[in-house]
Structure 1
Amino acid sequence: MFDGGLSLRRLRRRCAARVRELPMPDPFDVRALCALVAGQRGRPIELVPMTERQGVLGLWVATDDSDLIFYEEATTLPHQDHIILHELCHLLCDHYAAPLPGAELMPHLDPEMVRSVLGRTGYSAVEEQEAELLASLVLQQAGQSAPPPAEGLAHRISDALNWADPR
């Protein structure tokens, strides 16, 4: 049995069903996936880079007319993509919790708006596991039409160094 009375098998089935409903870009790109999901939902998703925000790497803020996904800018592109995908998965799963007790993470937003719109600051263990599982399944699905990341990385390094094929 899994936390909250939800079995891991049931959670995996629920996430697999969500992946089947996603409009997967080909070739896969997290930012393109966000644009496709926004189009499918009829609601814009804005990706907002942030830096050094008290240990927060990613955050999803739902407003009345759009969704904002904040992600750490001072990290590698693959890590940024993972953060964005994780937050997108919270959005896809409709995860919400308690209101944010301040707007120090997003100084350009009106604090009154943030408190009334954000809807959550943290997730339960089950919600975190669901977002991570869904993100993993999305990447697994994307891997079916793209070369495995390790192979792609080896080829990019090889090309950059003008080496022969590493295999």
Structure 2
Amino acid sequence: MKGKQLRALRDELISDLDLPTSATTELVCVRLCEVMAQRLQRDIRLRFDDLGHTGMSGLWAQTNDGVHVIIVTTTRSWLHRLLILLHEIAHMLCGHTPMQMQADESNKILFPDVSPEMLRILAGRTSLSPREEREADRVAGVLTRGLLDWARQRQQGNDPFEPSADDAVGRLSLQFGYSPQRSPR
């Protein structure tokens, strides 16, 4: 995806989110999935689950009946969860192929208690190439910067996107250009 095309996609996606100025990071996560479901004309199920020792922070798969499932690890920070979700959504936007789940796997994962063993099985079956992972990272980075710019431009004192300066996610968001002191462009 070319830079100009990617920036247009970012702006369109952020506009489609139609977020209130009081939006929390959790609401942004939910709205991202709702907007992507509308774009794909498919059901998207978002779950936050402890991915434990699977070596993954996020997972995107598709059931036999076309339902997209995104699982994001439970981390202490909603900003970190958002970054992981943006990476999984970037795979969708890039047209990558999701991992396909068998019917029994789908039934187990769509219900509340996913076993760590099931998550390990799914983690071992991901088939995205290193090139696709880099492309998703690039797209997610552009989306992240766009959302952080949106958050910075809001005229509200309580900023749910504002990272704490002493955590890894905070340092990462600062690398993406977030600066609470910087004035809007």
Q: Is the 8 A contact 1:99 1:121 kept in 2?
A: no
Give the direction of change, closer, same or farther, for the CA distance of 1:140–1:48 in structure 2 (3 Å limit): same
TM-score computed with the length of structure 2 as normaliser: 0.57
* Aligned equivalent of 2:36: 37
Q: Does 1:128 align with 2:121?
A: no
3-state SS, counterpart of residue 47 of structure 2: strand
Letter in 1 for 2:134: Q
Q: Which of structures 1 and 2 has the bigger CA Rg?
A: 1
TM-score, normalised via structure 1 length: 0.63
Q: 2: CA distance between counterparts of 1:35 and 1:87?
A: 14
Query: Is 2:65 the counterpart of 1:67?
Result: no
Distance 2:40 2:107 in 1: 27
Instruction: Report the AA paired with residue 69 of structure 2.
Output: L
The structural deviation recorded for 1:145 is: 2.4
Tell me the SS of whatever aligns to 1:145.
Answer: helix
Aligned to 2:93: 92
Out of 137, 140, 151, which is 2:145 matched to?
A: 140
Instruction: Return closer, same or farther for 1:122/1:39 CA change in 2, 3 Å cut-off.
Output: same
> For residues 87 and 13 of structure 1, what CA distance do their matches in structure 2 show?
21
Aligned-pair identity (%): 27
* Alpha-carbon contact 1:38-1:44 (below 8 Å) kept: yes
The alpha-carbon deviation at position 35 of structure 1 amounts to: 0.9
Structure 2 counterpart SS, 1:130:
helix
User: For residue 43 of structure 1, what is the amino acid of its counterpart?
Assistant: R
> Quick check: 1:108 aligned with 2:108?
yes
- The aligned counterpart of 2:57 is 57
Q: Which runs of 5+ in 2 are unaligned?
A: 111-124, 154-158, 165-179
C-alpha distance in structure 2 between counterparts of 1:124 and 1:89, whole Å:
14
- Maintained 8 Å contact 1:24/1:142: no
CA distance 1:144–1:60, change in 2 (3 Å) = same
Question: Post-superposition shift, 1:58?
Answer: 0.8
Q: Offset of 1:75 from its aligned partner? A: 4.1
Size of the alignment, in residue pairs? 136
Report what 2:78 is aligned to. 77
2:9 maps to 18
Separation in 2, partners of 1:48, 1:85:
14
State the AA in 1 paired with 2:48: P
